[in-house]
Amino acid sequence: MKKAKDELTEKEFWNNYWNNIKLPQTVNPFFSFERCLANYFKKVLANSNKGNIIEIGCAPGKWMKFFQDLGFITYGIEYCIEAGIKTNENLKHLNSNAKVVIADFFNNTFKAKFDSIYSLGFVEHFTNVEKVIEDHFHYIKPDGFVVIGIPNFKGINYLIQRFLNPQIIEAHNLNCMNKEFFKNFALKNNLDIISLRYLGSFEPALFIGNSNKGLVNFIIMKTLSVLSKLRNKFTFLDNFNSRYWSSYLVCIYKKRCDQN
């Protein structure tokens, strides 16, 4: 498998990021985004073949534990050493026997095939998103599922994040943040789309500020923090979704049996 190049974020960035994460980390039903994503997976994958599943970019392991609790046999790949160490520590905290390998996803580390593969907030950090998604299919069995989840920095989310900290926008490939991208990918590669939807509604916790940008930035971040607490409580907003304000976009592809 040829390595996909042109990452929009450096390995050092992720090592520093995960090194500062406090444990334990679990999927939190009281955090609106994680509640929406968890409910989505429970609904859409409820009748799927549980089998084994692997997460690409699996730190800190909270979703590995989530899928394990759903009945999957879970594995994960992390290419950042600090992230891999944190993930293993977190899984121990959660009494999980899920397995994490510290390796480069693009080197086709696992020779075995999996029933399903998923990545959340991974593919959008590369310039060649299509190639990265294609590489997911090297890991799954015929008739397997590929789940791709990405943040939605389009619409109002783009305007807010661009104002607060444009470097965050620059670290993401915005070209894939629409349904048409995923539909076209399916057509090009003869794939079935099991599900494709925006979710999470408007999520104030999506945005990352810049402490060096002064008072206005500080006030906006404080306001978003208050709104985030309210959003967590207002569960009725979970189903109000649109490409203009929803925080996340998820696509589930199914590999057809006639594909190797």
- What lies within 8 Å, CB to CB, of 84 at 6+ separation is 59, 78, 100, 101, 102
- In contact, 201 and 237? CB cutoff 8 Å: yes
- Which residue in 204, 201, 182, 190 sits closest to 250, CA to CA? 182
Bridge-based pairing of strands 192-199 and 248-254 is antiparallel
Please say if the pLDDT value at position 2 is more than 50. Answer: no
Q: Measured between alpha carbons, how far is 18 from 52 in angstroms, rounded to an integer?
A: 26
Mean pLDDT of the chain: 91
Neighbour count for residue 26 (Cβ, 10 Å): 17
Please say if the pLDDT value at position 111 is more than 90. Answer: no
Percent of the chain having pLDDT more than 70? 91
Structural domains of the chain, with CATH:
11-254 (3.40.50.150)
Please say if the pLDDT value at position 158 is more than 70. Answer: yes
Q: Is the peptide bond before 24 cis (omega within 30 degrees of 0)?
A: yes
Please say if the pLDDT value at position 204 is more than 60. Answer: yes
Q: Is the peptide bond before 60 cis (omega within 30 degrees of 0)?
A: yes
How many degrees, rounded to 5, is the angle at CA 139 between CA 192 and CA 141?
A: 60
User: Greater confidence, 192 or 142?
Assistant: 192
- Which residue in 93, 57, 50 sits closest to 74, CA to CA? 50
pLDDT of residue 10: 63
User: Greater confidence, 22 or 122?
Assistant: 122
The alpha carbons of the chain give a radius of gyration, in whole angstroms, of: 18
Please say if the pLDDT value at position 161 is more than 70. Answer: yes
Average pLDDT over residues 33-52: 92
How many degrees, rounded to 5, is the angle at CA 93 between CA 92 and CA 98?
A: 40
- Give the pair of three-digit tokens for residue 172: 């993401």
- Give the pair of three-digit tokens for residue 44: 């859409």
Q: Phi/psi at 117 (nearest 5 deg)?
A: -140, 145
pLDDT of residue 1: 35
* Among 138-142, 147-151, 219-223, 245-249, the least confident range: 138-142
Question: pTM above the 0.85 mark?
Answer: yes
Full 3-state SS string of 40-79: HHHHHCCCCCCCEEEEECCCCCHHHHHHHHCCCEEEEEEC
Neighbour count for residue 239 (Cβ, 10 Å): 10
Give the count of alpha carbons within 13 A of 9, CB side only. 20
Model confidence over 58-84: pLDDT tens digits?
Answer: 999 999 999 999 999 999 999 888 889
Q: Phi/psi at 168 (nearest 5 deg)?
A: -65, -40
Q: Measured between alpha carbons, how far is 136 from 146 in angstroms, rounded to an integer?
A: 7
Helix (H, G, I), strand (E, B) or coil at 106: helix
